[in-house]
A = this chain, B = another copy of it.
Amino acid sequence: MVPLEISDRDQAAFELGIKLGALFHQFVGTPISLRSKESLERAMEGAIENQPYVEEAEVRIDEAPLRAAAGREFDYISLEGRMIGARVTVSYRGIRCVGRLSYNADLDFPLMTLERMEEV
């Protein structure tokens, strides 16, 4: 085993991961409908933008399952990870990282990906 000295770049990637994990696990399960979609998106963005080193958080919830629910007796559903499309940008000591949470159809899985890194 070769120990590695933890760099700002490591730290930046780590911080980005925290934000995506938080976003998913805080809000999955929330009752959501077409009526409340926008207020939840804004609250999710605002919550994550509070966290250290976050430049920007964008959240879009998939409307298709909300539309499908709209005609039913109970016209709302619980937020699932696969319905969340999010992009979070973190900037830590000159390293900017962009990550994404989005549904991956091949894996049938809500995937978190480290999409882009750059020195600023």
Contacts and interface: CB of A to CB of B under 8 A. Distances in A.
Interface in A38-77: 39-40, 42-52, 72-76
Interface residues of A, number: 67
A118 B1 contact: yes
A48 B22 contact: no
A2 B120 CA distance: 7
B6 A114 contact: yes
B35 A29 contact: no
Interface of A: 1-4, 6, 9-11, 13-33, 35-36, 39-40, 42-52, 72-76, 78, 80-81, 95-97, 99, 107-110, 112, 114, 116-120
